[in-house]
Amino acid sequence: MRRVTPILLIALLCGLFAAAQTAPAPPPPAPMTGQTKAAVVAKLADILTEKYVFPDTGKKMADLLRSNLQAGAYAPLERPEEFAGKLTGDMQSISHDKHLHVAYNPGSGWLSWSKNTDEEQQRLEKRRSRTDNYGFREVKILPGNVGYLKFDYFSGNPEAFPVAVGAMAFVSGADALVFDLRDNGGGDPQMIQLLTTYLYEGDPQHLNSFYYREGDRTEQFWTLPYVPGKRMPGVPVYVLTSERTFSGAEEFSYNLKNLKRATIVGETTGGGAHPVNREPIDADFWASVPYARAVNPISKTNWEGTGVEPDVKVPAPQALDTALALALEKVSVAETDARFKDFYLWNLEAQQAKVNPVTLPEADLQAFAGVYGPRRITLEGGVLYYQREGRPRGRLLPLTADTFALENAPMFRIRFLREGGRVTALEGRYEDGRKDLSPRTE
At residue 6, does pLDDT exceed 60?
Answer: no
At residue 80, does pLDDT exceed 90?
Answer: yes
Q: Tell me whether residue 257 is in a domain.
A: yes
Question: What pLDDT is recorded for position 433?
Answer: 87
Q: Among the three residues 78, 110, 142, which one is the final residue of a domain in this structure?
A: 110
What percent of the chain lies above the pLDDT cut of 90?
84
Q: What is the DSSP string of 313-372?
A: E--GGGHHHHHHHHHHHHHHHH--SHHHHHHHHHHHHHHHHHHS-----HHHHHHH-EEE
User: 50 and 156: one domain?
Assistant: no
Domain that holds residue 76: 34-110
| pLDDT tens sequence across 224-251 | 999 999 999 999 999 999 999 999 999 9
Q: Which of 238, 59, 218, 249 is closest to 153 using CA atoms?
A: 249
Instruction: Give CA torsion, residues 217, 222, 227, 231, to 10 deg.
Output: 160
Question: What pLDDT is recorded for position 324?
Answer: 98
Q: Is 26 exposed, middle or buried (0-12, 13-18, 19+ CB in 10 A)?
A: exposed
Q: Tell me whether residue 179 is in a domain.
A: yes
User: 393 and 249: one domain?
Assistant: no
Q: Tell me whether residue 343 is in a domain.
A: no
Who wins on pLDDT, 102 or 18?
102
User: Considering its fold, how many domains does the chain have in total?
Assistant: 3
According to DSSP, the residues that pair with 150 across neighbouring strands are 138, 180
User: 68 and 153: one domain?
Assistant: no
Q: How confident is the model at residue 128 (pLDDT cuts 50, 70, 90)?
A: confident
At residue 11, does pLDDT exceed 70?
Answer: no
At residue 10, does pLDDT exceed 60?
Answer: no
Q: At residue 173, what is the residue type?
A: G
User: 150 and 228: one domain?
Assistant: yes
**Do the beta carbons of residue 51 and residue 37 sit within 8 Å?**
no
Q: Tell me whether residue 86 is in a domain.
A: yes
Dist CA 108 CA 374 (whole Å): 73
The pLDDT of 322-329, averaged and rounded, is 98
Dist CA 89 CA 93 (whole Å): 6
Q: Tell me whether residue 421 is in a domain.
A: yes
User: 199 and 237: one domain?
Assistant: yes
According to DSSP, the residues that pair with 310 across neighbouring strands are none
Q: How confident is the model at residue 399 (pLDDT cuts 50, 70, 90)?
A: very high
Q: What is the CATH number of the domain that holds 176?
A: 3.90.226.10
Question: What pLDDT is recorded for position 419?
Answer: 95
Dihedrals φ, ψ of 379, to 5°? Answer: -115, 120
Q: Tell me whether residue 214 is in a domain.
A: yes
Q: Tell me whether residue 15 is in a domain.
A: no
Dihedrals φ, ψ of 368, to 5°? Answer: -85, -20
| pLDDT tens sequence across 376-395 | 999 999 999 999 998 999 99
Q: How confident is the model at residue 117 (pLDDT cuts 50, 70, 90)?
A: low
Q: Which of 149, 128, 138 is closest to 196 using CA atoms?
A: 149
User: Could you give the C-alpha distances from 176 to 69, 238, 243, 252, 390, in angstroms and in order?
Assistant: 56, 8, 24, 17, 40
Kindly calculate the radius of gyration of the chain based on its CA atoms and give it in whole angstroms. 30
Sheet of strand 101-104, all strands in order from the earlier edge strand to the far edge = 101-104, 285-290, 276-280
Q: At residue 297, what is the residue type?
A: P
User: 199 and 313: one domain?
Assistant: yes
| pLDDT tens sequence across 26-49 | 566 678 899 999 999 999 999 999
Q: Tell me whether residue 235 is in a domain.
A: yes
User: 104 and 156: one domain?
Assistant: no
| pLDDT tens sequence across 250-261 | 999 999 999 999
Is residue 129 helix, strand or coil?
Answer: helix
User: What's 374's DSSP letter?
Assistant: T
User: 189 and 232: one domain?
Assistant: yes
User: 374 and 324: one domain?
Assistant: no
Dist CA 314 CA 328 (whole Å): 18
Q: What is the CATH number of the domain that holds 384?
A: 2.40.128.50
Dist CA 99 CA 96 (whole Å): 9
User: 83 and 224: one domain?
Assistant: no
Dist CA 82 CA 90 (whole Å): 12
Q: Which residues contact residue 386 at a Cβ distance below 8 angstroms, ignoring those fewer than 6 apart?
A: 375, 376, 377, 393, 394, 395, 396, 404, 406, 414
User: 233 and 172: one domain?
Assistant: yes
User: 61 and 99: one domain?
Assistant: yes
